[in-house]
Amino acid sequence: MSEGSQSGFWVAILIGGIVIAAASAFQQYSTKPEQFNTKPVIRDFCIGAFLTAMIYMFIPDTIQNLLSSGQTAASTALSSLTQAPAVTANADVELQTGPARF
């Protein structure tokens, strides 16, 4: 494994554990707020981290591609927003109703 995919592996484990633990804490707090216990939340963090690690081990290249394409899409969207030309509102659009004509 290269250094980039190794750090991505640990980030995926951390994110998966945090998401599952947060869902567990929310569920536990919403059902019994006076009896909140951290032991099940820690257990669910470990379960979420383990499941995320398994998923990451099966498809690490796909996850890396998704992360890089997400970064590319975000940067492209931001650059297109800053360079977007002004759009005129005078465009007359004809609205057709009724059955489709094939």
Q: Report how far Cα 47 is from the mean position of its chain's Cα atoms.
A: 19
pTM of this structure: 0.54
- Identify the pLDDT of residue 101: 73
Cβ–Cβ < 8 Å for 28, 41: yes
What are the residue ranges spanned by the domains of the chain?
3-65
| Dihedral of the alpha carbons of 98, 87, 84, 68, in degrees to the nearest 10 | -10
13-48 pLDDT tens trace: 899 999 999 999 999 889 887 888 889 999 999 999
